Amino acid sequence: MNESIAYIHRELILYIVITIFYLSPSLAISFLTHLHRNSAKEKEKEKEKEKGAMSLGYAQKLSYKEDVGTVGMPEIFDSPSALESKIEELAVMILRSKHLVAFTGAGISTSSGIPDFRGPKGVWTLQQAGKGIPDASLPFHRAMPSLTHMALVELERAGVLKFVISQNVDSLHLRSGIPREKLSELHGNSFMEVCSSCGKEYLRDFEIETIGLKETRRRCADNSCLSKLTDTVLDWEDALPAKEMELAQNHCSAADLVLCLGTSLQITPACNFPFRCLKNGGRVVIVNLQSTPKDKKASLVIHGLVDKVMEAVMRILNYRIPPFIRIDFVHVSLSHSPRKKTCVKWVLRIKSIHGPKATMPFLKSVEVAFPDRPDMKCALLQEQPFVLKRQTTQRKSFKILLTLNLTEGCGSSFSQIEWPVDFQVKKKSLSLDRDKVLNELKDLAERESCCGQEVLLERNVESRSEFTVHAIVTNIVRYCKIEEVPENDDLTTSINGGALTSKRSCDDGDNSEKSGKRCK
């Protein structure tokens, strides 16, 4: 029906243009120019609408709930002197902690471009005021971890942070580098699917279409299972996942310090978990810009920007905040079949590693060139999955150069893959150490301080086809520059008899220091 209406609309416009052109050619040109401008504006509006919808899809998908708790409370900022004193106190508590647990909320992701829910410009605050959902600064799938995310990663790598409990669904803890086994996502993950049968999890580079533990369009990749996948994000009436809840409760009970970051502590039952540590003499610290219902139970409440607080704590403890390096993946295949004795018909495909029904939101288009064969026509592929079909001489080898044009939000405009083709020679399958290759790629990106680098991860060769998986650096975010922090004599002498040194430096391109060391 919609296609028929569109056809009639096009025919009507064509009739109008022809009629105007017959009466006045200049008027017809003006009319066409006006149509073109309006079309461009409409496309731009749709693009912005899509951008905001992607970023705040979770909030839009939630079922309506009239009572979402207290929203729009004023922000509170501690005075500079009080803030400094509290930060030093927090640093001492972390230094002495044997089992530190972080409990995080939406406030740690606002600097990543994701609005919170209860702040002055939060999603529910504006909705309650009848202003609708706020604009997001970037697509959800391109959001990068904040300084706080990466500070927690460094503390976990150093063995200080034992576990992270998050109420967020933005996947930024996983993307930042927190191991899955050390993370409890109480409300789910907008980028995670799980098999309803075997329980295998699939982390995607695109936002899952549904929430509420519903079935998605995809199935488990395990050939012995193949059951339907479901989303993992809870709706209002969904119960917390038992496994995630049990891990969270156990770690909070074992903790001697629970650090609550950017959370209003209003959503039950999650808001009660941090205080399980009190039974065994543990302490709770709350870092939030607004007061919470649990402030009186905390040993320390800090009203300040969570990134600023964590940056200062890491400086005092002499820890480096590592850069975030994002890597995305593409699947490339080339299949062929002989047409004649001298010719071969081949098909090139560039698609998502997540299957034929998945998109690659980081990829805009693909240019296909043949550098050593000027007789072969280049191509521009603009629809996913990207497919190119050709017929060439079987005996003559050539090279394919793929230019992957990346979308807005990526740190580079493109990346390139070279693919030598010789139908007379069969390549060998290749399986590399994935973690080693990816770490080397990250090191290279950090040394060069740029994005777009590409590396081959895997190659599978069959009789008439070849499949490869490539890793591409699409973003680098640095959180600190080279600096030296003056030693705080009062703090140094107050901790373990002067055992803490409050100096550190963050590398700015020099990759020799892999991880900050804790000074004893």
The DSSP line for 189-249 is -TTEEEETTT--EEE-SS--S--SS-EEEEE-S-TTT-PEEEE----TTPPPPHHHHHHHH
Question: Tokens in use for 466?
Answer: 């070849």
Question: Tokens in use for 151?
Answer: 């500070």
Residue 474, pLDDT > 50, answer yes
Q: In 3-state terms, what secondary structure has residue 509?
A: coil
CATH classification of 325-477 is 3.40.50.150, yes or no?
A: no
Residue 54, pLDDT > 90, answer no
Q: How far apart are CA 518 and CA 248, in angstroms?
A: 27
Residue 338: which pLDDT band, with cuts at 50, 70 and 90? Answer: confident
Residue 495: which pLDDT band, with cuts at 50, 70 and 90? Answer: very low
Please give the pLDDT value at position 23. Answer: 64
Please give the pLDDT value at position 480. Answer: 76
Of the candidates 151, 170, 146, which has an alpha carbon nearest to the alpha carbon of residue 102? 151
Question: Domain spans of the chain?
Answer: 2-55, 78-187+239-322+481-520, 191-232, 325-477
Higher pLDDT, 517 or 393: 393
**Mean pLDDT for the stretch of residues 90-105:** 98
**Number of other CB atoms surrounding residue 238 within 10 Å:** 14
**Number of other CB atoms surrounding residue 409 within 10 Å:** 18
Q: How do residues 378-388 score in pLDDT, each as one tens digit?
A: 999 999 999 99
Residue 187 annotated among the catalytic residues of the structure: yes
Please give the pLDDT value at position 116. Answer: 61
26-35, 88-97, 269-278: which range is least confident on average? 26-35
What proportion of the chain, given as a percentage, has pLDDT over 90? 62
Please give the pLDDT value at position 160. Answer: 98
480 is known to lie in a ligand binding site:
no
Residue 315, pLDDT > 80, answer yes
**Mean pLDDT for the stretch of residues 149-172:** 97
Contact (CB, 8 A) for 112 and 306: no
Please give the pLDDT value at position 392. Answer: 87
Residue 53: which pLDDT band, with cuts at 50, 70 and 90? Answer: very low
Residue 151, pLDDT > 50, answer yes
| Phi, psi dihedrals of residue 384, rounded to the nearest 5° | -90, 145
Tell me which of 99, 141, 149, 187 is the catalytic residue: 187
519 is known to lie in a ligand binding site:
no
Amino acid at 177: G
What proportion of the chain, given as a percentage, has pLDDT over 70? 74
Q: How far apart are CA 367 and CA 452, in angstroms?
A: 15
102 burial level (CB within 10 Å; 0-12, 13-18, 19+) = buried
Please give the pLDDT value at position 341. Answer: 72
Q: How far apart are CA 347 and CA 482, in angstroms?
A: 50
Please give the pLDDT value at position 516. Answer: 35
Rounded (10°) CA dihedral 322, 187, 285, 108: 40
Higher pLDDT, 290 or 512: 290
277 is known to lie in a ligand binding site:
no
Residue 225, pLDDT > 70, answer yes
Multiple choice CATH, 191-232, 2.20.28.200, 2.40.440.10, 1.10.3720.10, 3.40.109.10: 2.20.28.200
Of the candidates 178, 192, 169, which has an alpha carbon nearest to the alpha carbon of residue 61? 169
42-46, 309-313, 354-358, 506-510: which range is least confident on average? 506-510
The CATH superfamily label for domain 78-187+239-322+481-520 reads TPP-binding domain (3.40.50.1220)
Rounded to a whole number of angstroms, the CA Rg of the chain reads 27
208-222, 227-241, 486-500: which range is least confident on average? 486-500
**Mean pLDDT for the stretch of residues 14-42:** 61
| pTM, to two decimals | 0.80
Contact (CB, 8 A) for 360 and 351: yes
Residue 327, pLDDT > 70, answer yes
Q: How do residues 399-429 score in pLDDT, each as one tens digit?
A: 999 999 999 889 999 999 999 999 888 889 9
**Mean pLDDT for the stretch of residues 423-438:** 90
Across 339-385, the runs of DSSP E, i.e. the strands, are: 343-351, 363-369, 379-381
**Number of other CB atoms surrounding residue 301 within 10 Å:** 20
Residue 285: which pLDDT band, with cuts at 50, 70 and 90? Answer: very high
What is the overall mean pLDDT for the chain? 83
8-22, 296-310, 316-330: which range is least confident on average? 8-22
**Mean pLDDT for the stretch of residues 491-510:** 39
Q: How far apart are CA 249 and CA 274, in angstroms?
A: 8
**Mean pLDDT for the stretch of residues 17-39:** 62
Residue 71, pLDDT > 70, answer no
Please give the pLDDT value at position 303. Answer: 98
Please give the pLDDT value at position 13. Answer: 66
Question: Tokens in use for 413?
Answer: 């405009």
State the sign of the Cα–Cα–Cα–Cα dihedral 287, 290, 293, 299.
Answer: positive
Q: How far apart are CA 462 and CA 307, in angstroms?
A: 50
